Chains A and B, each alone.
Chain A
Amino acid sequence: MDLRYSDVDEAFRARLREWLSSELPKLPVQPARDDWSARRGWDTDWQRRLFDAGYAGINWPKEFGGQGATPSQHLVFLEETTRARAPYVGVNFVGLLHAGPTIIAEGTDAQKTDHLANILRGDEVWCQGFSEPQAGSDLAAVRTKAVLDGDHYIVTGQKIWCSYGQIGDYGELLVRTDPDAPKHKGITWLMLPMDLPGIEIRPLKTVLGSSEFAELFLDEVRVPVSCRIGAENDGWRVTNVTLAFERGTAFVSEMVDALRLIDDLSPYVTDPAYRRELGHLAAEMDGIWALTKRNVTQAARTGVMGPGSMMIKYAYSELRQRLGELSMKVLERDVLAIDAVGEFVEERLRTLALTIAAGTSQIQKNIIGERVLGLPKEPRP
């Protein structure tokens, strides 16, 4: 058991550091937070730079245009890019971390050809269309209906929490194709071209006052059958493939970012009791980071993320709430203006979502209790 990165990994780190230090100063000025078309341009410009330098799709297999990095190199990549304050994955999140890996795992050759390279180059932006007003934690309760009509599905329904809905080229869409089957057995996973007639997108303003989310209203939208990922009515299994990716690595850069935020907050923390609390939080974050390394090691050996990934998401997001609360105490009256001191108040607001998105803490604890510890399931009505 050791924490030593291989010489190959260290060489990879050195090359990446060098590239980051030459590339980051060249980035254009960041656009305003609510100018979504400009943000799309800025985020995809960064993705294009990664692509040109051979860093796009760092953990995607080489045969699909990725870099085929080992899990430990992937960790190095996320450590270094976050520490260097390189741009966040941003509008490329759904494509790179959700839809792309799902297409790699479950898509046809034509679907791979049509989408994977475009996602890697930053030419294609994806948005999410999983949750519905009546299907949040109980995601398998989705009602958006798709009826087969020749070589199209006619899709009608409503989606919510569509990340990057205003600017996405494609959406990952869960629809109900068999209303009579048990709820997990009648779902299908579709790629939704966002320019089809019958789609209405309404920005959903969050507590930050901005709108990276949207509501999606679908009125008899004709989606080609060729947009289906996996078999009809097999969408729940495909969804779990998608979510496994999300729970596996999607939060690693958030964690490195939290370590950086602790360092950034520290100079403002003068009260001994608050400094002590900050010391606790730093230690816990180090522990969660160590558990991440454990998980990455297991992934490298077995090919799948271990049960630790469910624990990491829960532990990290809860810790982030405490760090947010500490920030508010430390800043005292300076919290009255969100941008008065650093990014701490904005972060406090943004991170309210972390214990809700991608499975609430309560759902995570059900999963840990039932799948990891083997506790009996709650009787379902």
Chain B
Amino acid sequence: MNFDLTDDQVALRDGIRSLLIGRFSMERVREGFDRSMFDELTEAGVFSLRADGFSWADSVVVYEELGRACVPGPLVGSAGADAVVDVIEGRSGDAVWVEHLASLDRLLTLGHDGIREIPAASLMGAEADWPLDPLTPAHRVESLPAGELVGSASEASQLLNESTLLTAAQQVGLASALVDMSVGYAIAREQFGRPIGSFQAVKHMCAEMAVKAEVARAAVQAAACIMDDPDTGDMMRSLHGAKIVAGESAIMNGRTATQVYGGMGFTWEVDVHLYLKRAWVLETRFGSADTHADAVAEMLPQPERSQR
């Protein structure tokens, strides 16, 4: 058992991190997702990890970095695709929100009968004037077209699992960046003549954030390892658990970071709100923490009527 990053994975993490710092500054990120961003990420190999022989454990390392850098876009759906693709759960006729519609080539929907493919051009809907996450434009599509069946039901559940995993990895990245931002601010910001991070009230908030992020990272990487080697654990339980703790860590750390930053945390200028808003957006994708918690509870020993 070597449940820690290998040397190659450390190099992969450091490589993608420095690439993202170099090319995707917050100024660039704040301009939103576009075709050139997609092309650069494609060139960096982000969307061809599996085809290039990388494991799921490798993939979550990369997607965590995408989250850490707050990179916007349909990054999960475009994995393995040669086009800008998003993937959502939904059926023909459903009213849904579609993200990044203006940039999409196609949308994949995951339903009981399998994977359906819908050309973006055939999706009609009104764009939200005031999206929650300014970097995640949203269109309200009143009725999903049926699209074309391109994958079986089992392929749909496989894609759902993979998408859940990569989304959870992004959430860990958000949570982890929020720890670093808050610690940096708590050291730099002084009140009452000393750094606010020296006060226990602030220090303890930072410690709680760090613990949430570490537990979430371990959960996500464990799920990835089990996806790579299914004999080593209960894949569905670990996947549900990963999405739960990763989602909660991103949201809780976003809220706590806002508190650490005080009034500045409520400004547009400070990046914290972009992370928190992304955390809320990702929480809605591939099942919320509560729906996954229900699924975990289903896996635990069940009550019988005769009990007590």
Give me the interface of A with B, judged by CB distance under 8 Å: 1-6, 9, 72, 262-264, 266-270, 272, 275-280, 282-284, 286-288, 290-291, 293-294, 296-298, 301, 308, 311, 314-315, 334, 341, 362, 364-366, 368-370, 372-379
Contacts and interface: CB of A to CB of B under 8 A. Distances in A.
A327 to B, nearest CB: 13
Given A1-B9, A341-B308, A375 B303 contact: no
Q: Majority SS of interface residues in chain B?
A: helix
24 contacts: A2-B2, A3-B226, A5-B1, A267-B301, A267-B302, A268-B303, A269-B297, A276-B297, A279-B298, A283-B292, A287-B242, A293-B218, A296-B1, A297-B3, A297-B4, A311-B214, A341-B308, A366-B204, A366-B207, A373-B207, A375-B203, A375-B206, A378-B198, A378-B203
B219 A283 contact: yes
Given A72-B1, A287-B219, A311-B214, A266 B301 contact: yes
Nearest to B4: A297
Given A268-B303, A368-B211, A375-B206, A3 B3 contact: yes
B1 A297 contact: yes
Contacts of A314: 207, 211
Contacts of A4: 1, 229, 231-232
Given A293-B3, A369-B206, A377 B198 contact: yes
B183 interface: yes
Given A6-B1, A267-B303, A283-B245, A1 B221 contact: yes
Contacts of B226: 3
B245 A311 contact: no
Q: Majority SS of interface residues in chain A?
A: helix
B9 A366 contact: no
B197 A294 contact: no
A195 B199 CA distance: 46
Contact of A283 (B9, B214, B231, B241): B241
The 6 tightest CB contacts between A and B, nearest first, are A279-B293, A279-B297, A283-B241, A287-B219, A369-B203, A279-B296
Nearest to B183: A373
A269 B303 contact: yes
Nearest to B293: A279
